Amino acid sequence: MMRRLPILMILTFLIILQGCTSKRPLLTKQYPDLTYRQLLELHDQWINSIRTLSAKGRITIDSPSYSGKFEADIYASGRDSLLISVKGLFGANVGKVFIGKERFIFYNQYENQFITGQKSDFENMNFLQFPLSLNELQQVFLARDEFNILKKEKFEKKPDGYFLSAKNGRFHYHIWFDANTLLIKRIEYYNDQKLLFFKEYRQFSKKNGVLFPRVINFVRPDEKQGVSIIFSQIEINKPLDGQVFQIKVSESAKQLIIPSSNS
């Protein structure tokens, strides 16, 4: 009995110690003190570091007029070339959109129709039920937020990262930077005081030495429109065959002639 006493005392001490340590507050992770200009420069460097992207993912669309889920293959090269190939139920081809530097083509495979033209003429048009214009498709699917000159209104360091409020003319931005990646994790776009939309980037993972979010959310609150992209596979800066950007349109497909968004 006397030999067991020290063991019981040690076990009791360990239990008490564990209880004490579990009540200690978690320490906030330390991260560097940076200016808002340094954070924006890091963000620009990150955008420029993504030369090519090939990915697979699920797209969820939710709006008053349409809701649905699609599987998609996404390819991007440089700052100008983006192809989104969308499949529906049981892998059926739904449609493809290619956006180049100056031109685009949208092929509705389900209805066997296509539209092509100058990107600038249709930059505000939506396709495939997406509540996104051509320009917004590139910005959302590639997690891009590019700014000209921003005038700082408020900048502060928080326990989980940085917050920046800035403006450019009548446009205002609320930007949250993540403490771990130092990249944008949420951004709100305002026209004067009206919130136009916000974007969220989550679950960053490193591919070929470059970070990229596995989850992207785009929401227009007033219109009750949202697009969510969850990537299942991501490859960064791997060589891409130029043929992946070629859309083969059926000879029987009908070309739609519609007024441009600028007419």
Is the pLDDT at 13 greater than 50? The verdict is no
Instruction: State the average pLDDT over residues 51-67.
Output: 92
CA distance 51 to 242: 14
**Residue 216: predicted pLDDT:** 98
Contact yes or no for 81/101 (Cβ under 8 A): yes
Tens-digit pLDDT profile for residues 99-141? 988 888 999 888 899 988 888 877 777 665 677 888 888 899 9
Percent pLDDT > 70 in the chain is: 85
Q: Which of 89-103, 127-141, 153-167, 168-182 has the lowest mean pLDDT?
A: 127-141
The candidate with the shortest Cα–Cα distance to 139, out of 128, 152, 129, 130, is: 130
How many degrees, rounded to 5, is the angle at CA 123 between CA 121 and CA 124?
115
Two tokens at 185? Answer: 């994790």
Measured from the Cβ of residue 139, the count of other Cβ atoms closer than 10 Å reads 15
Q: Where are the domains of the chain?
A: 36-255
The residue length of the chain stands at 263
Is the pLDDT at 229 greater than 60? The verdict is yes
**Residue 134: predicted pLDDT:** 81
Fold of 36-255: outer membrane lipoprotein receptor (LolB), chain A (2.50.20)
Is the pLDDT at 19 greater than 80? The verdict is no
Contact yes or no for 197/186 (Cβ under 8 A): no
CA distance 27 to 49: 33
Mapped to the 3 state alphabet, what secondary structure does the chain carry? CCCHHHHHHHHHHHHHHHHHHHCCCCCCCCCCCCCHHHHHHHHHHHHHHCCEEEEEEEEEEECCCCEEEEEEEEEEECCCEEEEEEECHHHCEEEEEEECCCEEEEEECCCCEEEEEEHHHCCCCCCCCCCCCHHHHHHHHCCCCCCCCCEEEEEEEECCEEEEEEEECCEEEEEEEECCCCCEEEEEEEECCEEEEEEEEEEEEEECCEEEEEEEEEEECCCCEEEEEEEEEEEECCCCCHHHHCCCCCCCCEECCCCCCCC
Contacts of 2 (CB under 8 A, 6+ apart): none
The larger pLDDT score, comparing residue 4 to residue 128, is at: 128
The larger pLDDT score, comparing residue 66 to residue 241, is at: 241
Contact yes or no for 183/211 (Cβ under 8 A): yes
Phi, psi at 213, each rounded to 5°: -75, 140
Is the pLDDT at 206 greater than 90? The verdict is yes
Is the pLDDT at 58 greater than 90? The verdict is yes
CA distance 233 to 59: 13
Q: Is 241 exposed, middle or buried (0-12, 13-18, 19+ CB in 10 A)?
A: exposed
> Where does the pLDDT of residue 149 fall: very low under 50, low under 70, confident under 90, or very high at 90 and above?
confident
* Alpha-carbon radius of gyration of the chain: 24
Phi, psi at 76, each rounded to 5°: -145, 145
Instruction: State the average pLDDT over residues 32-46.
Output: 94
Is the pLDDT at 85 greater than 90? The verdict is yes
**Residue 129: predicted pLDDT:** 64
pTM over 0.95: no
